[in-house]
Structure 1
Amino acid sequence: MIRVSRFSLIFILLMLPFSAVTAFQEEAPQPRDGDLLSNPQRTVHTFLHWQQSGHKNPEYVIKTMKLADQSDEQKLELAEQLLKVFDARGLLIEYERIPADPAYRDSLSGMQQYILFPSLPEVYLTKTAQNEWVFSRTTISNIPELYQNTFSSWVTFIVDNLPEWAHNEWLGIQIWQYLAVFVWLLSGLILMKIFNFFLDNYVRRVAQKTKFTWDDDLIDGVEKPAGYIFLMTFYFLTYSNLQFSVSISHVLASVLEIALSAAVVWLFYNLADVLSKYLGMLTSKTETTLDDQLIPLIRKTLRVFVIVMGMIAILQNNGYNVASLIAGLGIGGLAVALAARETLANFFGSVTIFMDRPFKIGDWIKTDNVEGTVEEVGFRSTRIRTFHNSLVSVPNSNLANTDIDNLGLRRYRRLKTVLNLTYSTTPEQMEAFVEGIKAIVKGNDHFRQDFYEVHFNSFGAHSLDVLVYVFFDVPDWSTELQQRHNFLLEILRLAKEVGVEFAFPTQTLHMDSFYGEEPRKIGADRSEEELAAAVYGFGPNGEKAHPEGIRIYKDGEEVDFGANK
């Protein structure tokens, strides 16, 4: 918004050399006798043209005020005041838009009258019984009030009492107007600082005392745009006191109006973020996650809506026919639809995702081309954070037409492995080893207890194979890895305890042993009591069971390397 206001000031300075340019876009022809008030266009020309410096003619001017019950001097003063109002407010008159029909009638009222400006409906021309178009009695009676509303009385008093040198012109602008611009700009900035100080030191303090947080976010969101709205409103309401020529006032009014509209759009843009944050707080308290996914979509929709409506309002307020513009865009609607078919497909894909709910934010999903955690679902694409920490944007149309493996919805996470024991393992050791693994599973609450399989499964080429088929009951991948670590570590300790060894692919060459020599003894002998004690020791609450990992102590303090965090 600061750029807009600076642009307005620069534009004014650039317009200074051209301030003496006349208000007319085209010079109307010189009037003939009896033709001064023949139609609305001629009456407006008579009113404006004969008040310009170089060819002033009071006798012609007062004819437009003939319905006034005052003297000619008072009529001339009223005409001068009305012209100053037009100039100060930047009400630029274009002759080609004024009807030249002597029998013109207003399309709404059906009366023979013509309103000069929609923003000043109380100023209009009317046709008299003498077939002359003049300012109406209502207009004449409202001129003093319009003048007072346009110019501050104390500013008028100061300007009327300035020394003669202050009214000297330089580049078409009087010296006092240069000083007035500086005071005008400085006053607006000072008032904005006061407004921000009040907002920051009084309103914010009240908001901080409440138990809510949304009011603090509201103050943060509206503080800056509200300050610029206050500044632009002050400038827009007071720029007429500068009494510039109509060309400069017209440009200045347009720039200030655009700046004010842009500041309002900025305010509602920030309010959309505040509303989205407040809705996010409400949805976080619900059990469903569908509303959590809708918040980013609502935020983006509100932002686009605010910007589009702001642009339409700015164009409409500056004389552009938005309806015809939209109708013109509709002509190329088919071409736009064909060009944007991918965008539309992605939009309907996002609708499908929200309706079908194949995943939610935070889920771990896997598709044909990407695997990772869902971070955001938008209009066009879904953003997935991969395990390389990169961010992949997948078009929603692709997701709607592909297989999605939602790993985040798993309640149980499977572990299937085969443990290879050496052929020196005795049947008793095998049974103890298998039952020991089952005991480890039973003793750990992170396993699914109603279904698991641990069996001596096959005789392999180089090993005795034990199938382990279990399911972890864990919420996320990190916990799964930790419990897998604990489980495999328990199996290692169990193998050591029961005296079995793990096999690996080998070839053994047996040769006749010399007398007195014995083959290498593999494994360790254990009694049945020792084997049973090992089984129970690794079972629920067993003295040898450590389902949460090994505990290591150093200097009397536990060093936790394997426990689940």
Structure 2
Amino acid sequence: MLNKKKKNFTATRLLFGCLILLLAQFPSAAQIPLISGDTTKTQRTVYPPDSLGRRSPRGSIDGFIKASYQSNYQKAALYLHRGAGITKRQTVRQAKALQAVLEMNGRIYPYSWISNDPDGKTDDNLGPELDRIGAVTINHASFDLILQRYTDKEGNPIWLFSDQTIEQIPLDIEDLESGTLINNISPAFLQVTKWGGVPAAHWIAIVLLLITSYLVAFGIARLLMYLIPKVIRKAEGDPYPRVIRAFSIPAQLYAAMTLFTFFSREAGVSLVVRQSFSNLTLLVGIIAVILLIWQLIDVTGILTEQRMTRNRNQSAVSAILFFRRALKIALAIIGVIVILDTLGFDVTTGIAALGIGGIALALGTQKTVENFVGSVTLIADQPVRVGDFCKIGEILGTVERIGMRATQVRTLDRTIITIPNGELSSLKIENYAYRERFWFHPTFFLRPETSPDQIRQVIQDLRRVLLTHPRVNPDPARVRFTEIGLNGVKIDIFAYVDTGEMNIFLEIQEELLLQMMEVVKDCGTRFMLPSQTLYMGKDQGMPVKEGPIISTDEAM
């Protein structure tokens, strides 16, 4: 049993540790939050639209990519800031070089991570005028792609590639695109035919790479699932197979997207095509994490249910089922919100509506929530369990059922009393089921005529009865002469009987009392019984005194 508990605990720690590592592997996770950091402002300045869509960082990078892949480099140059002394021709050349660098080793963040607000991101630690939209690696050195906010002739904000970024772009790499793997192996007609300004070979290649990546990830996952039990022997026993299966599908999806991103960049797939699939890779990654958490909830719930079932704690099993469903519902809601935010929908209003609806629901179901919290308290603290004989307030009986709303107690009259858990958690509970021994404390009253020697002998013999019984705990086991009064000579007995069963205690108590009655009888005394003294006599009344008799005539 201890080994199983240890395995369950180790498996749970392994699950959550791997989950944290998985979350940490998202690209640029240290720099970019999962949900867009844009905040809805109560008062937002409305600017007139820019013909090139440069009002926001997302519009600028999207416009640059479309213009450059349509070979309209003069238009693409308008998305670069032209510094002092830089001619228009030089800016066009810089735009071509920037496109080549992005094709070679560029990484543009998914559009859902790039701000679509004229103010840009304010929580990226770059300042209010700068936004990071990707990264580029040249000669094993990596640097960020930074957009900077400028103003146009009318004073409205526009976002352009910053001077800092443009200065790091070499101008002698314009012909690198011809050396990519796809351009070298694809047929000529697929190079000539273009879809969306990009050769058809790139679109076909991205689909083939997606399928290949998943098949490779599937094969690796199956191989690992086969090898892990062979290499690690203890992985064959429960709960490790459940843990491995929980990681199987999410790991396949995440590995497939990781391989897909790597293969597409190394094969030289066009940035336009890669950017079109960027949200797909992000969505699959989010779904993989959500699915993993879903599986972990199931595995953890099943393992906990099994342990509670072994402990015969049926109320905890019911609570675990409820928590599993509640966590899954919450996870589904969070997943939908994250996915909608990734797709570019404004979820701020929806989140606010959920918050208001939650408050209204909480107010309307206050008693239900109170009972639910009470049931959680009962399950966590376990002051009573099913089958316990206890006293709850003024109710004495056996607990028959602990539900999510109320607890049922069967009284000594064999009736059922239902107590709401919210009320039960605040009542005084005396649980007799946890009693490991019974208190034996009879009080004897002997006749007042009992002599001191008889009292000493009675006390000595009563102690012997306690100390010689195998089920009486000797610490303490005392007999004391405590009082003499109207009720006679008072003898107090204090001891504990080592048993937790009521029937056994009653049997031992009966045996001890019979032996003590014999001790009192053998010592020549008796128990003091309630008595009254009745005095009986005949009242003679007042004595009659004789005096002179006065007649009526004499009185006249």
TM-score (norm 2): 0.46
